[in-house]
Amino acid sequence: MPTPFLLLAASRFALLPVLAVLCACNLAPVGGGRRGAAEPRPTAADPARATPTPWRTIGTSVESRPLELRTVGYGPRRALWIGGIHGDETEGSVATELLPEAFLAAGLAPLATLTIVKDVNPDGRAARQRRNARGVDLNRNYPAKNYRPGDDRGPAALSEPEAQALHDLVLELRPEIVLVAHSWGRKASGPRAFINFDGPADRIARRFAVASGYPVVPSTDIHGTPGSLGSFVGIDLGIPILTIEYARGDDPKQCWEATRAAILGAIAPPVES
């Protein structure tokens, strides 16, 4: 029978892949849980449960395209990755594709359960346009307290089936961290790419910035975004949410490589200091 010392050593070695990723980017992940709460402990390795699930449909778009998700890992921390909301912002596509493999290679499967939504706006992506097929901005259609109907926000919150499906998923999962892939065209002044956040995610965003080189831009520094996912999830629900604003037109593979370690660090549960 193994001695208690050998059992302790084995449990520490099980964490080495995760710690290696975090140390390489000088990043200690921070969660959205209560300060001082007990940190999740890794469970025994289970290769079968670590295998990413097949894509499954959670709803359909206005033009009946599937809204798909998959999960990977089986740990207690709940993380949600959203590969895109605006149809003309495809820079996060490679990150969405390669994230499961990187998640497993980092040893995160026993520590977290990651849900990956491929794309909330498949109609917009097919048409290479920001909005959905009815001309509604799907990042302005959520029942946040600051929602206002009209213009490109829709006649009412959750008027669009894509927004309804994501809304229901968030309420079902109650994730501890949400990450969303976006991109933006660089203005005359301001950063080329940045990490934006809403809700109790300031520390996570700052550590993401250290790992990626992306400066932090809080939503309070950006023009008003009534009905946005960040407003609903981050401010109203109090769930930390990071919006990764890649540089519009950059190679999606380079976008992934620049943010890979930072994304994994945000997904990982807090480590004991």
Span 156-186, pLDDT tens digits: 999 999 999 999 999 999 999 999 999 998 7
pLDDT(7) > 90: no
Whether the CB-CB separation of 222 and 198 falls below 8 Å is answered with no
What is the spatial distance between Cα 200 and Cα 188, in angstroms, rounded to a whole number? 30
Q: What percent of the chain has pLDDT over 90?
A: 73
Span 204-224, pLDDT tens digits: 999 999 999 999 988 877 777
Per the model's pLDDT, the better-predicted residue between 80 and 186 turns out to be 80
Q: Report CA-CA distances (Å) from 21 to 28, 108, 143, 263.
A: 10, 10, 37, 11
Span 90-144, pLDDT tens digits: 999 999 999 999 999 999 999 999 999 999 999 999 999 999 999 999 999 999 9
The end-to-end CA distance of the chain, in Å, is 31
Global pTM value: 0.84
Assigned CATH for 4-267: 3.40.630.10
Q: Tell me the pLDDT band of 272, cut-offs 50, 70 and 90.
A: low
